[in-house]
Structure 1
């Protein structure tokens, strides 16, 4: 086995590491673009993702995102 080229375990770990990084970055970008009513909420979510990246990202995508509030039509 060549010590410079990783084996199957190395490729698998690299793939999961890249997916982990993409998940965390996607969560942080999503938080930055979110429509939360106050900046404090965004900062708290950002801190949750930074302190616990994997779990914080999953919780953000499961519960934290919300769509912009809809305006009543007046009917």
Structure 2
């Protein structure tokens, strides 16, 4: 997939929303990917990947809770 670059910095609130959506998507999809006669993913790998995304979300929320925080990746 060849998408054009995004034109503006992504804010911390937008980053949090993106990661929240990703966690929900993985919670929905991984059980299907780990079951059936030809699973696409091992349950242990799915659990690891999901916990990794939850850790990212927790870190972003911790950053958000601090005062005077830079609100986007590029400090603009």
TM-score, structure 1 normalization: 0.40
Please identify which structure carries the higher helix content: 1
**Higher normalized contact order (CA 8 Å, seq sep 6+, divided by chain length):** 2
Larger radius of gyration: 1
TM-score, structure 2 normalization: 0.40
